């Protein structure tokens, strides 16, 4: 039983042996083959563009999550200031959960980045090969007998087909990876909704957290402003003093 490398090589050979059987009319085949390559190259470019778009979308989602972490952190702080340890605990628990998921996504993102880089290099190589085929086909047309041309066309077509398959596979894998990341990101989004928090903490009233925290942050904002006003009216403007008071 052949190993993975041998197996892969066999599969590729089987796929390309067809290319070697063709080319009855070398000149015609060459032109057609080139047209076909150009068309496939466009498909590859489109595929890479799709991956890039999906990745950008993920990055946006990722930024949103980071903001979520910051927001939860701020909420926890507000809750502590207001002496609501229960709410602070909820917010921090939620923050920790999102944060740990984020780290996983970040790692996957780095892998994707590397894959994408290789993808772009693969596409560049493919482009160079197609260009090389274009010049070689004229040489083949002009210099070789039909029988010799047939062999050369078969080889060149195989060489290009291999590169196509390689880049095609890389695109497919990068797409799979973005989809996986998308699924994880969506799961986190769900996790950060109030309903999921209930299951997560096992405590009651999870649905209220957002509202309570919002109310709290509003009321403390009012307190802040009130304190500021008092300070201004009472002893002139000394806003820095207020921060010290808040921290207590």
Partner 1 sequence: MIVRLLGEGQYRVDDSLLARLNEIDAKVEKAVADGDEQALWSGLQSLAEMVRKNGEKLADEDLSPSDAIIPPEDLSLDEARELMQDEGFIPDIPVAS
Please give the residue ranges that form the binding site for partner 1 (CB under 8 A): 1-9, 11-12, 14-16, 18-19, 22, 29, 32-33, 36-37, 40, 43, 111, 115, 118, 121-122, 124-125, 128-129, 131-133, 136, 153, 155-162, 164-166, 168-170, 172-173
Residue 239 CB, nearest approach to partner 1 (Å): 55
Residue 6 CB, nearest approach to partner 1 (Å): 6
State which residue, 148 or 207, has the beta carbon closest to partner 1.
Answer: 148
Residue 135 CB, nearest approach to partner 1 (Å): 9
Residue 142 CB, nearest approach to partner 1 (Å): 17
State which residue, 79 or 181, has the beta carbon closest to partner 1.
Answer: 181
State which residue, 135 or 204, has the beta carbon closest to partner 1.
Answer: 135
State which residue, 91 or 156, has the beta carbon closest to partner 1.
Answer: 156
* CA 108 to chain centroid: 8
Residue 122 CB, nearest approach to partner 1 (Å): 7
State which residue, 23 or 216, has the beta carbon closest to partner 1.
Answer: 23
């Amino acid at each position: 039983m052949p190993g993975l490398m041998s197996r892969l090589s066999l599969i590729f050979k089987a796929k390309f042996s067809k290319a070697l059987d063709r080319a009855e009319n070398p000149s015609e085949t060459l032109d057609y083959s080139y047209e076909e390559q150009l068309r496939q190259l466009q498909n590859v470019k489109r595929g890479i563009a799709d991956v890039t778009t999906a990745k950008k979308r993920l990055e946006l989602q990722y930024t949103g999550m980071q903001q979520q972490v910051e927001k939860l952190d701020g909420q926890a702080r507000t809750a502590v200031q207001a002496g609501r340890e229960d709410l602070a605990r909820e917010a921090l628990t939620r923050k920790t959960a999102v944060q740990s998921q984020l780290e996983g996504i970040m790692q996957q993102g780095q892998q994707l980045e590397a894959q994408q880089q290789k993808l772009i290099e693969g596409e560049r190589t493919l482009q160079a090969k197609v260009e090389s085929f274009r010049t070689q086909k004229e040489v083949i047309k002009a210099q070789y007998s039909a029988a010799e041309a047939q062999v050369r066309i078969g080889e060149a077509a195989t060489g290009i087909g291999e590169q196509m398959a390689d880049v095609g596979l890389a695109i497919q894998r990068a797409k799979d990876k973005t989809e996986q990341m998308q699924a994880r990101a969506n799961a986190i989004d769900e996790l950060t909704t109030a309903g999921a928090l209930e299951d997560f903490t096992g405590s009651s009233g999870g649905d209220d957290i957002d509202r309570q925290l919002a109310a709290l942050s509003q009321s403390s904002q009012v307190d802040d402003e009130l304190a500021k006003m008092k300070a201004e009216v009472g002893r002139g403007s000394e806003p820095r003093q207020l921060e010290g008071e808040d921290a207590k």
